[in-house]
Amino acid sequence: MNPNLEQRIAALEKWKQEKEAQQIKFPLDIQSQTILNKYLLSKIATIEFSAGVSSDLYKYILVEQDGKIDALGSVRNFSQFTVNTTADTLILVSARFENNNGVTVISTGTAPGGLMSGGTYYVVNASSGGTTIQLSATLGGAAINITSVGTGEQYIYYVL
């Protein structure tokens, strides 16, 4: 047999073994849990407190990935939210936002349709109490059409 062909076959066999070792099996076995822990963030805890002149809400989200624990920074005006797809609005649980505030949306699952987890948006059409808002991709722009509620927990926080 051709030595070059033997090397290529050996390389393909090694590649196949590596890919098979990365497959996740259900119910989760130890190897599948290890793969998930290496590549996905796990939320460990949430620490929140109010501080400052305006008593802004600050929140740290502790996460773990591949055995390493990190905090997703201090977040000002952080809130979980639900979505009304008919009105294209976000209904905030705790924080209050005003028009033109820059915000970021994050999700533990998939972001609501029309939004991207980690994307920066601008508040438009905020209700008088700031608990119901719409988002725009640009400062002062049109409200984004939100086509689905997404999955998992949905969060929004002030960035600008």
The two three-digit tokens of residue 54, written as one number: 């305006």
Which H helix or E strand runs over 134? strand 132-136
Among 151, 56, 46, smallest CA distance to 101 is for: 56
- What pLDDT is attached to residue 132? 94
Per-residue pLDDT of the chain (160 residues; tens, 9 = 90+): 566 788 888 888 888 787 777 666 666 677 767 776 676 767 666 666 655 444 555 666 667 767 776 666 555 677 889 999 999 999 998 778 889 988 989 888 899 999 998 889 999 999 988 889 999 999 999 999 999 999 988 888 887 5
Of residues 152, 50, 59, 136, the one with CA closest to residue 101? 136
Is this structure's pTM higher than 0.85? no
